[in-house]
């Protein structure tokens, strides 16, 4: 792919490229089909954004420009070109406040924020936030760290169980799905964490609260699979 810009920090040309590669049909389908409701989007496929990000390379300053531009596609691109080593705690908070749909939440957490040394601090802070996507970000980040991290032992993940417990009765769609994702991600890290997640999920599945029951059953369907048990044991051996 050859981008239509002269340098990797040419915002005007990148915007022109996004406009040229976007799709009005894709924009129209984002909300009804995928649940991605956003006011400003070009409709560029995520795969194309990844290719463009690879061509641009890591550029922390340019990522800030892309984010401030405020369109869904530029913010998605920002998460892909930013350098996690340069991401600050203040930046994470600022971006979290801007989150307006599940796709930008999950992408920011899954490709950028989970590599930050501030990840666990933000998980604890964001879990207390009220707005739906800001609160989801805590659990999307917890799931992302659980899936990608290769250094932490079980302790910091076990310490997050109380956060999951408090959020488990939040009936909002993107929060409860984020909570489930986090617990399922933790279960795949080690045999001990899987057993703890199983016990916790079984408790939720028997709850009188409908949201807690949904989360418990959703988690159990996933982590009872032999594949998850094997994955947990395999990752445990690598620690």
Please, what are the domains in the chain? 1-82 (no CATH), 89-239 (1.25.40)
Sequence-separated (6 or more) residues with CB below 8 Å from residue 203: 216
pLDDT above 70 coverage of the chain, percent: 95
Q: How many CB atoms lie within 10 A of CB 220?
A: 19
Sign of the CA dihedral running 108, 130, 120, 117: positive
Q: What is the structure's pLDDT at 1?
A: 41
Q: Do the Cβ atoms of 145 and 154 come closer than 8 Å?
A: no
Q: How far apart are CA 210 and CA 85, in angstroms?
A: 41
Distance of CA 201 to CAs 63, 143, 214, 220, 239, Å?
39, 15, 10, 6, 25
| Helix and strand totals (H; E) in the chain | 15, 0
What pLDDT digit, counting tens, does each position of 144-196 carry? Answer: 999 999 999 999 999 999 999 999 999 999 999 999 999 999 999 999 999 99
What pLDDT digit, counting tens, does each position of 90-117 carry? Answer: 999 999 999 999 999 999 999 999 999 9
Q: Do the Cβ atoms of 197 and 220 come closer than 8 Å?
A: no
Q: Do the Cβ atoms of 121 and 89 come closer than 8 Å?
A: yes
Per-residue pLDDT band for 239 (boundaries 50, 70, 90) equals: low
Report pTM: 0.93
Q: Do the Cβ atoms of 61 and 9 come closer than 8 Å?
A: yes
Question: Residue by residue, what is the 3-state secondary structure of 177-217?
Answer: HHHHHHHHHHHCCCHHHHHHHHHHHHHHHCCCCHHHHHHHH
Q: How far apart are CA 239 and CA 235, in angstroms?
A: 7
Buried b (16+ CB within 10 A) or exposed e, 61-89: ebbbebbebebbbbbbbbbbbbebeebee
Q: Per-residue pLDDT for 59 more than 60?
A: yes
How is the chain split among helix, strand and coil, in percent rounded to 5? Answer: 70, 0, 30
Per-residue pLDDT band for 2 (boundaries 50, 70, 90) equals: very low
Tokens of 19: 């406009």
Q: Do the Cβ atoms of 212 and 204 come closer than 8 Å?
A: yes
């Amino acid at each position: 792919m050859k981008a239509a810009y002269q340098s990797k920090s040419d915002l005007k040309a990148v915007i022109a490229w996004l406009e040229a590669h976007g799709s009005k049909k894709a924009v129209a389908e984002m909300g009804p089909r995928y649940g991605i409701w956003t006011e400003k989007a070009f409709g560029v496929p995520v795969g194309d954004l990844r290719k463009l990000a690879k061509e641009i390379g890591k550029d922390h300053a340019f990522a800030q420009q892309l984010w401030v531009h405020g369109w869904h596609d530029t913010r998605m691109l920002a998460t892909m070109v930013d350098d996690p080593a340069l991401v600050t705690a203040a930046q994470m908070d600022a971006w979290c406040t801007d989150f307006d749909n599940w796709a930008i939440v999950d992408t920011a957490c899954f490709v950028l924020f989970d590599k930050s040394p501030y990840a666990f601090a933000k998980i604890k802070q964001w879990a207390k936030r009220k707005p739906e996507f800001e609160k989801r970000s805590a659990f999307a980040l917890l799931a992302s760290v659980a899936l990608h991290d290769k250094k932490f032992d079980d302790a910091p993940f076990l310490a997050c169980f109380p956060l999951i417990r408090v959020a488990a009765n939040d009936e909002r769609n993107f929060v409860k799905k984020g909570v489930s994702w986090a617990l399922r991600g933790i279960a795949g890290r080690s045999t001990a964490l899987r057993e703890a997640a199983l016990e916790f999920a079984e408790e939720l599945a028997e709850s009188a609260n409908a949201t807690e029951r949904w989360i418990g059953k959703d988690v159990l369907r996933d982590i009872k699979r032999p594949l998850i048990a094997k994955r947990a044991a395999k990752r445990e051996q690598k620690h």
